[in-house]
A and B are shown apart, each in its own frame.
Chain A
Amino acid sequence: MYRYDEFDHAFVNERVAEFSDQVARRLSGELTEDQFKPLRLMNGVYLQLHAYMLRIAIPYGTLSSRQMRRLAHIARTYDRDYGHFTTRQNLQFNWIRLADMPAILKELAEVEMHAIQTSGNCIRNVTADHFAGAAADEVGDPRPYAEILRQWSSIHPEFTYLPRKFKLAVTGAPNDRAAIQVHDIGLELKRNAKGEIGFAVFVGGGQGRTPMVAKRIRDFLPEADLLTYCEAILRVYNLDGRRDNKYKARIKILVHEMGEDEMRQAVEREFAAIGRTALTLPAEEIARIQSYFAPPVLATLPAHSDVLDKAKAADPELARFLRRNLHAHRTPGYGILTVSLKPTGLPPGDATSAQMDVIADIAERYSADEIRVSHEQNLVLPWVCLDDIPAVYAALKRAGLATPNAGLVTDIIACPGLDYCALANARSIPVAQRISERFAALDRQEEIGELKLKISGCINACGHHHVGHIGILGVDRKGEEFYQITLGGSGDETTSIGEIVGRGFSSDEVVDAVETVVETYLKIRTSPAEKFLDAYRRVGEAPFREALYADA
């Protein structure tokens, strides 16, 4: 993991002092809400439905046990004992007092964390593959580059008042788990024919009101040019992005209006004009940052674990858990475990302070002290020895954290929606709850197979509904909650935007509608091996539309 040095500590402490001063000026009445709002937003403080909300950055989703314990401590001391992990690998606390903000930021700074740029029209927290460094299919660990980008983008003097927010995501594997094609900049780590490391650069993806899949504007960018190229993209955007209409201000609209080729040329021109500067990354510096992310020392083990095989044979529940929540590791004898934050009937992505502490303990003992937050609102233990899995499973189970549903229909992404969010049109969490209850039977879930269901409470699409295999969007119809269903979206390397199938459904109807979609899929699939997305792509929306609206 990255460790702060003196410089990094000084930076964050200065920022805490600056923001604490702003909070004090606000509380004393020196700043009006209008003046304070842009300042608090730069530091992740929103005023939500019930209270102030604080969004804490978890850079590229990586946490140490110590950091997780500190989050638990903050939940217990300053909030209502729980937190919400978001689709941007951040953590939100929903019930924070403005007056406590300085104390909380100090507590965070002590464990090398902050809330800088988790909102506002600036470069946001950089996200990455949650299996980074451990995945079997990886070209390289994306996190050192994400860390370099995090540093470069921190209080960037030129890019703090952009037309709109700006999100970067990096993946190190051809199987994209970071949804890079729906980000403002998406970076795919790859090797060229000569075996050198670099990036394919995607620009202009995004969800929200006008969902768009990013355009690949560079097939191979040498790693040394990472910052220069990003600076070029951001400069083109800052100068030419629309500022006349908030809904047209994201870079995706600029790319769309300029056209892919012209955008590419504009960026390349700017990139060439900047030339070599202190942003050009020396190989030694990349290596130095990489050394922070060196994998932990792991034992040399056979690929198979007899201990695990035996435990699996004796415990069908463990076997089920492994079928869904264990993922291939690059190191023989090790596995990556998904810790589901989607138990039946509870809010997706929420964890109590007690659960955070349990996960911290497990990670300390069994996962090289490391935890990941996935954009699918789960936690990940990336370095678990297969022999240890029975013990880890038992500990997770005791804490209600062993739901065996990773990637299944109840592994739902849901934004906070109208239960918390001031911008919402409809509730998300209760819909997720009811769907997870409807599909609670584990055998049935497994029979259905991989299915990504994503719910947003408004068109801002924080719940990523556009890229859900089944997407649900909450709308307000004459004061009543209504839900639109989209099908066929995907956020992986084959990214596609889901299509609206027809009229929306009332809150009472929506769970039945989802079940109808699932039943239709089960009927039309060629075999259990044909996943929902593949079946949908083969047959299109017609059979689903028919099933949904047959009686209408």
Chain B
Amino acid sequence: MALFRHGVRVADDWTFPAEGEAFPDSGPVALPRARLIAEWTALEARNAPLGVVIASGEKLDGLEAILPRLSLVKLVIPRYADGRLYSIARLLRDRYSFAGEIRASGDVLRDQVALLVRAGVDTFDVAHEGTARAIETGGIVAVTHHYQPASNDAAEAHAAPGARPWLRRTPVPFPLA
């Protein structure tokens, strides 16, 4: 897996304790939803960034109250064709005004990167070698004219007054958030 934050390859600063494994005393930690909620009090006392891991098919129900306290939401994509996380990312940004990192993790095709960015994802943790190479070498070819507002709206140019209000533009080459 290769991690890219805003298009730049970085080392992972987060810890993802396995099931049954204790979380470290310091440093950023992300946990599956159920465990995060169950151990919230102890986690909060650590005074370090917290995140949640959303498995494919899971939703955000029950997290509403703690989302503002989280710095990372990691969305797991087992198969590139599983498009649920696009909606989850959009809900995070638009419905819950989540300002932290949204990480797409798993089977991401290079041709999906731009769509995910528009849906609100800003970090990619990709299994696909071709995707990693494309992000690294600026090889993401994407359409930069859009027919609908999405969830990366602040980074996109809006239509001039009088034109279709649903149009959006991103600069060329497509900025990776």
Residue among A15, A157, A160 having the largest count of chain B Cβ atoms under 10 Å? A157
Pair B147/A11 contact, Cβ less than 8 Å: yes
Give residues 137-193 of A contacting B (CB, 8 Å): 151-163
Give residues 32-57 of B contacting A (CB, 8 Å): 57
Chain B's closest residue to A239 (CB) is B87
Pair A151/B149 contact, Cβ less than 8 Å: no
Interface status of A200 (Cβ within 8 A of chain B): no
Output the least CB separation between A228 and chain B (Å).
Answer: 11
Interface status of A21 (Cβ within 8 A of chain B): yes
Interface status of A296 (Cβ within 8 A of chain B): no
Pair A285/B164 contact, Cβ less than 8 Å: yes
Residue among A121, A160, A273 having the largest count of chain B Cβ atoms under 10 Å? A160
Given contacts A39-B111, A239-B87, A273-B95, contact A158 B119 (CB under 8 A): yes
Chain B's closest residue to A22 (CB) is B111
Q: How many residues of chain A get a CB closer than 8 Å to chain B's CBs?
A: 39
Given contacts A151-B147, A157-B118, A277-B149, contact A17 B84 (CB under 8 A): no
> Given the complex of chains A and B, what is the CA–CA distance between A151 and B118 in angstroms?
16
> Given the complex of chains A and B, what is the CA–CA distance between A121 and B164 in angstroms?
27
> Given the complex of chains A and B, what is the CA–CA distance between A209 and B147 in angstroms?
33
Residue-by-residue, is B64-94 near A (CB-CB < 8 Å gives 1, otherwise 0)?
Answer: 0000000000000000111110111010001
Residue-by-residue, is A5-18 near B (CB-CB < 8 Å gives 1, otherwise 0)?
Answer: 00100110011011
Among listed B6-14, B16-24, B138-146, interface-contacting one: B138-146
Given contacts A39-B111, A238-B86, contact A155 B81 (CB under 8 A): no
> Given the complex of chains A and B, what is the CA–CA distance between A77 and B95 in angstroms?
51
Interface status of B115 (Cβ within 8 A of chain A): yes
Interface status of A279 (Cβ within 8 A of chain B): yes
Interface status of A50 (Cβ within 8 A of chain B): no
Pair B143/A11 contact, Cβ less than 8 Å: yes
Interface status of A295 (Cβ within 8 A of chain B): no
Given contacts A10-B145, A21-B141, A161-B80, contact A152 B166 (CB under 8 A): yes
Interface status of A243 (Cβ within 8 A of chain B): yes
Chain B residues with Cβ under 8 A from A277's Cβ? Answer: 149
Output the least CB separation between A120 and chain B (Å).
Answer: 10
Give residues 129-177 of B contacting A (CB, 8 Å): 130, 141-150, 158, 163-167
> Given the complex of chains A and B, what is the CA–CA distance between A157 and B147 in angstroms?
10
> Given the complex of chains A and B, what is the CA–CA distance between A238 and B116 in angstroms?
15
Given contacts A22-B111, A152-B147, contact A7 B167 (CB under 8 A): yes
Chain B residues with Cβ under 8 A from A121's Cβ? Answer: 81, 83
Pair B59/A152 contact, Cβ less than 8 Å: no
Chain A residues with Cβ under 8 A from B165's Cβ? Answer: 278, 282, 285
Output the least CB separation between A13 and chain B (Å).
Answer: 9
Chain A residues with Cβ under 8 A from B115's Cβ? Answer: 155, 157, 160
Pair B145/A7 contact, Cβ less than 8 Å: yes
Chain A residues with Cβ under 8 A from B94's Cβ? Answer: 274
Interface status of A235 (Cβ within 8 A of chain B): yes
> Given the complex of chains A and B, what is the CA–CA distance between A283 and B151 in angstroms?
24
Interface status of B109 (Cβ within 8 A of chain A): yes
Chain B residues with Cβ under 8 A from A273's Cβ? Answer: 95
Contact of B143 among A14, A38, A285 (CB under 8 A): A14
> Given the complex of chains A and B, what is the CA–CA distance between A17 and B141 in angstroms?
9
Pair A38/B166 contact, Cβ less than 8 Å: no
> Given the complex of chains A and B, what is the CA–CA distance between A239 and B85 in angstroms?
8
> Given the complex of chains A and B, what is the CA–CA distance between A503 and B92 in angstroms?
53
Output the least CB separation between B89 and chain A (Å).
Answer: 8
Chain B's closest residue to A155 (CB) is B143
3 tightest Cβ-Cβ pairs between the two chains A and B? A161-B83, A157-B118, A11-B145
Given contacts A14-B142, A159-B86, 10 further A-B pairs with CB under 8 A are: A7-B167, A11-B145, A11-B147, A14-B143, A156-B147, A157-B150, A161-B112, A238-B84, A278-B158, A279-B148
Q: Can you list 21 A-B contacts (CB < 8 A)?
A: A7-B163, A15-B143, A18-B111, A38-B109, A151-B148, A151-B164, A151-B166, A154-B147, A155-B143, A156-B147, A157-B86, A157-B119, A158-B86, A161-B80, A161-B81, A163-B83, A227-B166, A235-B90, A278-B158, A279-B148, A285-B165
